[in-house]
Amino acid sequence: MSRAELHTIARSLVEGGRGILAADESTGTIGKRLEKIGVNNSEENRRAYRELLFTAPGLGESISGVICYDETLRQRALDGRSFVEVMQQNRMVPGIKVDTGAKALAGSAQEKVTEGLDGLRERLQEYHALGARFAKWRAVIEIAADLPTDYCLSVNAHALARYAALCQENGLVPIVEPEVLMDGDHTIERCYAVTSRSLQFVFAELYAQRVDLSGMLLKPNMVISASACRTQAGAEDVARLSLQCLRTHVPSIVPGIVFLSGGQSDERATEHLSLMNRLAPAAPWKLSFSYGRALQAAALKAWQGKSDQIAAAQSALLRRARFNAMAARGQYEPALEAA
């Protein structure tokens, strides 16, 4: 695939106020969510749930692409169509999670490094043949008294850049995700400092490893107070400091920034995105979303594993997707939640 084609796909994922549905939960993670609604974690139940998501009528009006788990990319709908075909027919680009998870970092056991580079070139070639056109790799950065270390930031940035370069070599747009976690009691100012440092490491490695920044997307955390922080920053501060951090560290050549929700409530994640787009209508990159739980939670609760609740679940998904598409255009208002 040419560079021009990679650029086109990257831009298409963030154009028109559309964003990305993250449906790449591992078997264990989706199992925990199914357990909460009393549904057995079988392959058929996972397949049925993903089918109701991907076949929601008109989902492609708000969702540009779907990040899948390996199992999901290979599954089929009840009518025989592959999920890749289902997504494409619903105007959504198939994507794939390719990392193998965060493991203890040698020499700094409190921190994590994301693994999965071994054999990645061959896996990317297979995923491209299956129909994937973009990929995702997540690094996990924890904040504590003496964390993160530069060592942790360095090894994770190096892995993200190696992954991104391999993706582009094999015709997939890389989504680069350095997530600074909300866990802890740190302030929004501390989150700003760590997020800034993380992005410095990431873009230095992306440059060093010759990644084409016009053919990738960044998936960062928002700059936000930790979940246990005594003083929670307001929505305006989250939007303002997130924008300030990104303007300082993200080159304008990057076509889009698709935020993760990172443990925020559905409504707060949407509100923060909308405020950012209002504050920066002429930002050099598109500001959109790549949400998992914040898009799916309402649908999963409505479904309850019952076939007669599929329409209700799809309606809940479409509602959240529509609100986030509005937020990507700066048009969402919290009052809409009560409508």
pLDDT digits (tens, 9 = 90+) for 106-124: 999 899 999 999 999 999 9
Kindly report the backbone phi and psi dihedral angles of residue 243, in degrees, each rounded to the nearest multiple of 5, phi listed first: -65, -45
Q: Domain containing 46 — which CATH number? A: 3.20.20.70
CA distance 241 to 288: 16
In this prediction, what percent of the chain has a pLDDT beyond 90? 99
Q: What is the pLDDT of residues 231-283, one digit of tens each?
A: 999 999 999 999 999 999 999 999 999 999 999 999 999 999 999 999 999 99
**Given 97, 112, 136, 219, the catalytic residue:** 219
| Phi and psi based region of residue 87 (left: phi greater than 0; alpha: psi -120 to 50; beta: remaining) | alpha
Buried residues in 303-329 as b, exposed as e (16+ CB within 10 A) = beeeeebbebbbebbbbbbbbbbbbbb
**Given 177, 179, 205, 271, the catalytic residue:** 177
In this prediction, what percent of the chain has a pLDDT beyond 70? 100
Known catalytic residue at 219: yes
Pairing verdict, β 108-114 and 102-105: antiparallel
Q: What domain range is 116 assigned to?
A: 3-338
Whose structure tokens read 């019952």?
306
pLDDT at 1 over 90: no
pTM exceeds 0.95: yes
- 3-class secondary structure, 119: coil
Range 135-146 average pLDDT:
97
pLDDT at residue 109 in the model: 83
CA distance 283 to 121: 34
pLDDT at residue 173 in the model: 98
Q: Specify burial of residue 179 (Cβ count, 10 A radius: 0-12, 13-18, 19+).
A: buried
Q: What is the pLDDT of residues 64-102, one digit of tens each?
A: 999 999 999 999 999 999 999 999 999 999 999 999 999
Which residues lie across from 178 on neighbouring strands? 139
Q: What is the pLDDT of residues 302-314, one digit of tens each?
A: 999 999 999 999 9
Q: What is the pLDDT of residues 16-46, one digit of tens each?
A: 999 999 999 999 999 999 999 999 999 999 9
pLDDT at 339 over 90: no
Which residues lie across from 179 on neighbouring strands? 140
CA distance 207 to 110: 28
Known catalytic residue at 85: no
Q: Which of 266, 253, 252 is nearest to 327 (CA)?
A: 266
pLDDT, averaged across the chain: 97
- Specify the number of domains making up the chain: 1
- Token pair, residue 212, equals 């084409």
**Cα atoms in the Cβ-side hemisphere of radius 13 Å centred on 296:** 25
pLDDT at 217 over 90: yes
Which residues lie across from 97 on neighbouring strands? 136
pLDDT band at 163 (very low <50, low <70, confident <90, very high): very high
Which residues lie across from 259 on neighbouring strands? 289
Contact 317, 295 (CB under 8 A): yes
Range 213-219 average pLDDT:
98
pLDDT at 181 over 90: yes
